[in-house]
Amino acid sequence: MEPISAPRRLRQMLADPSKTVVAPGVYDGISTRLALAQGFDCLYMTGAGTSMSRLGMADLGLTTFVDMLQNALMIASINPSVPVIADADTGYGGPINVAHTVKSYARAGVAGLHIEDQVQEKRCGHLSGKLLVSREVYYNRLRAACKARDESGSGIVIIARTDARAGKDNEGNGGFEEAAERLKAAAEIGVDGLFFEAIQSEDEAKQVIEKLSGTKLPVLLNMVPGGRTPIIANSEANKIGFRIVIWPTMGLEAVVPALQGAYASLKQTDRSPPDQQIGPGALFETCGLKDLMDFDESVGGKAYK
């Protein structure tokens, strides 16, 4: 039997209106392995995490299409049966670039992606000073994404993201109503999901669902601790009506303090922290050591006996 493609699996998950897809943020191979080990049914490749881990730079639109594609390909390939939703920023150019991005992500095994309405010099959705493209430029991006989805036959899930709640275009258009109108139009264009960025309160989260209920599309909730949106538990998000919840920075929030402590210990005490000495075997097992050795043996290899 032919395996189910990642986009089809994600669509099956979203077809159940009673359930909410929860996707922790991953940004490299180790974070992906650790999230998979916990049994999550879906993963989210964070653009901020990609920028920080691959470039060592803050999320200010410095990652290129190639940076994002290579990371998405690696993450999606670790376990192709678990769908990956990936940040695709602005699509990395005009409509032709957007179409190329969608088709390339689909070939890389990505299940879904989101395209936003910031200018090319974009920044993290929870930073101030965001600038938007006009409605028409944004809609052209989405039309290109949907057409590329259909032409590729991949079924990759296209999610329209708007940053209008906390940003403005050159004519000063922005705010809650502008964001809602942009997403309603996105639904008419033919996207598969909606992403209302930088929701300001739990009450506003309920208003978002009410405003977009007529589209009949799944709405995504972005949970960033310390960001503009208050933290809402997955179960509560489900009750409100969100069908996807992503936690982009969860892995980074855990790793950064741990690394800071470990490196500080080495500098100050001339040794690694005693409670972190788990050994190379355990480290490698995190990334599939036993499975790799078993595969080698299954084909007659003896190198790892």
pLDDT tens-digit profile of 54-110? Answer: 999 998 889 999 999 999 999 999 999 999 999 999 999 999 999 999 999 999 999
The band of 129, judged by pLDDT with boundaries at 50, 70 and 90, is low
Q: Are residues 145 and 285 in the same domain?
A: no
Inside any domain, residue 23: yes
Mean pLDDT of 164-173: 90
Rounded to whole angstroms, the Cα distance separating 90 from 98 reads 8
The band of 249, judged by pLDDT with boundaries at 50, 70 and 90, is very high
- Among 2-11, 92-101, 126-135, 254-263, whose mean pLDDT is lowest? 126-135
Inside any domain, residue 1: no
Inside any domain, residue 160: yes
Mean pLDDT of 119-134: 72
- The pLDDT > 70 percentage for the chain reads 97
Q: Are residues 47 and 173 in the same domain?
A: yes
Where in the sequence is the domain holding 119, given as residue range(s)? 6-256
Question: Is 242:220 a contact under the CB 8 Å cutoff?
Answer: yes
- The pLDDT > 90 percentage for the chain reads 79
Inside any domain, residue 264: no
Give pLDDT, residue 207. 98
Mean pLDDT of 265-285: 85
Q: Are residues 248 and 289 in the same domain?
A: no
Q: Are residues 174 and 236 in the same domain?
A: yes
Q: Are residues 187 and 131 in the same domain?
A: yes
Q: Which residue has the tokens 């705010």?
A: 175
Burial of 214 (0-12, 13-18, 19+ CB in 10 A): exposed
Return the closest-CA partner of residue 126 out of 218, 207, 60: 60
Q: Are residues 113 and 198 in the same domain?
A: yes
Inside any domain, residue 266: no
Q: What is the full DSSP assignment across the chain?
A: -PPPPHHHHHHHHHT-TT--EEEEEE-SHHHHHHHHHTT-S-EEE-HHHHIIIIIS--SSS---HHHHHHHHHHHHHH-TTS-EEEE-TT-SSSHHHHHHHHHHHHHTT--EEEE--B-SS---TTSS-EEB--HHHHHHHHHHHHHHHHHHT--PEEEEEE-GGGEE-TT--BSHHHHHHHHHHHHHHT-SEEEE-S---HHHHHHHHHHHGGG---EEEE--TTSSSPP--HHHHHHHT-SEEEETTHHHHHHHHHHHHHHHHHHHHSS--GGG--HHHHHHHHTTHHHHHHHHHHTT--TT-
The residues pairing with 22 across neighbouring beta strands, listed in sequence order, are 245
The domain tally of the chain equals 2
Q: What token pair was written down for 267?
A: 């500098």
- Among 76-90, 194-208, 214-228, 263-277, whose mean pLDDT is lowest? 263-277
Q: What token pair was written down for 73?
A: 């390909």
Give pLDDT, residue 274. 78
Mean pLDDT of 120-128: 60
Q: Are residues 85 and 114 in the same domain?
A: yes
Q: Are residues 158 and 284 in the same domain?
A: no
Q: Are residues 208 and 284 in the same domain?
A: no
For residue 205, what is the domain's CATH number? 3.20.20.60
Supply the residues annotated as catalytic: 44, 59, 87, 89, 114, 116, 124, 161, 197, 222
Inside any domain, residue 101: yes
Give pLDDT, residue 126. 53
Give pTM, 2 decimals.
0.94
Mean pLDDT of 157-175: 93
Inside any domain, residue 99: yes
Q: Is 243's pLDDT higher than 80?
A: yes
Rounded to whole angstroms, the Cα distance separating 179 from 173 reads 9
